[in-house]
Amino acid sequence: MRRSSNSWSYVGMKVSKRDHVSLAEGASKHSCDITVTAPCSSSRVTDDAGRPRPNRSHILEHCEPSRSSRYTANMPVDVDACVTSNVHLSDDYNVVRLDAPKLAVSIQPGQFVMIKPIAGLEPLLRRPFSIFEVLTNRNGVRTGFALLNKRVGIGTELLYSIEVGHRIGCLGPLGVPFTVVAPPHEAWLVAGGVGLAPFLTLAADLRGHGTATTLFYGGRRSADLYYLDAFTQLGVRLVLTTEDGSQGESGLVTAPLERALVASAVSAQPTLYACGPTPMMSAVASLATAHGRPCQVSLEPIMGCGMGGCYSCVVPIRKSGNDPAHLVRACLEGPVFDGQRVVWDRLQHVA
């Protein structure tokens, strides 16, 4: 279903949640016509030829230099990306592939794009999406990327029904990526539901480093677990759970994770990566702390611009220990954060 004559490497993503807050959904769901069928093209957003790249450390307000310097690795571009395929995984989920070589060239695992499925005023704002796959041609050259979409509102409904040949405004790549660990460290990825999104790209990158990788992946039922073959082909060990017991262990994904942490040899040195519902990420971060393991989480706040302009996507982060929390912009200083720096009680309160 997801294979073509082209080969591509896998990249991860998560689904936009901002659609949940669209109040005008009922009235406007059918008010937008998708009419753009112009030839595929892309253009660089910046006209800054020759200008030195700005120093990101002036932009970030609460970040360590190491993170900000990593962010300087790429610059966002704005492209009109042509839809090359739209595969429906279920009545709710689909994967949209986009032709966007200029954007794809600098994508790092954990980064996101701001997309606008149609021109016009409804919906007005772009939606944040994690990058699900990086697409490459036969020569390994990056040609585009894919989005995993779950329809929950106006924007995601449009993306679910988008037709091949249409163009989607894509601004990115944006955000602080995951820090990829190398042997002797192991990588344990913990995904809940659509939180699988950023992990395909991360797993591909980890395997490129030769890092032993395990995916703990929980869903409500067997049919909610996607892309298992893709992870298996990357050599990722799978630990599956479903709430109804229809596949893997019955219950929540944190149960086998905790057992594994208790049983893990000191030599395994796992680094945890988590994406999913906030309670799950909070529990994973707690387990990581209890077992003295590092944990990176990918947060999904409501986002307005993705550029740091609007201050909508703030999340409560502390610098260290018991420092007071700051509300920091997830688009610039995240979406990937050290799980131990997230003030989870407050995040759940405000989310």
Partner 1 sequence: MDLNVDIGSLRLKNPLIAASGCFGYGVEYAEVVNLKTLGGIAVKGLFLSEREGHNPPRIVETPAGMLNAIGLQGIGVHRFVAEKLPDLYSQGATVIVNICGSTIDEYVEITRILADADGVNAIELNISCPNIKAGGITFGNSAVGTSEVVQAVRSVTKLPIIPKLTPNVTDIAGIARAAEEAGADAVSLVNTFLAMAIDVETRRPALSNGVGGLSGPAIRPIAVRMVYECSQAVTIPIIGMGGIMTARDVLEFIIAGATAVQVGTANFVNPNLWPKLLADLKEYLSRHNIERVQDLVGTLELTETQVWNSS
Shortest distance, CB of residue 228 to partner 1, whole angstroms? 34
Figure out which of the listed residues 14, 67, 126, 167 binds partner 1, where binding follows CB under 8 A.
126
* Binding window for partner 1 (CB under 8 A); candidates: 124-132, 225-233, 265-273, 286-294: 124-132
Q: Minimum Å distance from CB 156 to partner 1?
A: 13
Three-class DSSP category at 319: coil
Q: Does 75 bind partner 1 (CB under 8 A)?
A: yes
Q: Which of 46, 11, 198, 165 is nearest to 99 (CA)?
A: 165
User: For the window 18-47, what string marks contact with partner 1 as x by the rule CB under 8 A?
Assistant: x--xxxx--xx----------------xxx
User: d(Cα 279, Cα 301) in Å, to the nearest integer?
Assistant: 14
Query: Residue 293 burial by CB count (10 A; 0-12/13-18/19+): exposed, middle or buried?
Result: buried
List all residues 6 or more positions away from 177 whose beta carbon is below 8 Å from its beta carbon.
70, 108, 109, 110, 111, 336
Residue span binding partner 1 (CB under 8 A) among the ranges 51-59, 131-139, 209-217, 335-343: 51-59
Interface region with partner 1, contact rule CB under 8 A, candidates 17-25, 102-110, 181-189, 211-219: 17-25
Note whether 112 and 174 are within 8 A (CB).
Answer: yes
Residue 345 as a binder of partner 1 (CB under 8 A): the answer is no
The answer to whether the beta carbons of residues 188 and 203 sit under 8 Å apart is no
Q: Is the Cβ of residue 257 or residue 347 nearer to partner 1 in the bound state? A: 347
For position 65 contacting partner 1 by CB under 8 A, the verdict is no
Q: With contact defined as beta carbons under 8 Å apart, do 306 and 331 qualify?
A: yes
A 10 A CB-CB count for 323 gives 12
Decide: is 210 part of the binding site for partner 1 (CB under 8 A).
no
- State how far the Cα of 334 lies from the Cα of 215, in Å rounded to an integer: 22
Nearer to partner 1, 18 or 67 (CB): 18
Here's the x/- map for partner 1, 252-281, by CB under 8 A: it reads as ------------------------------
Report the candidate in 287, 285, 269 with the shortest Cα–Cα distance to residue 318.
285
Residues that bind partner 1 (CB under 8 A): 18, 21-24, 27-28, 45-48, 51, 53-55, 58-59, 61, 75-76, 78, 116, 121-126, 169, 171, 301-302, 304-305, 307-315, 326-327, 332, 349-351
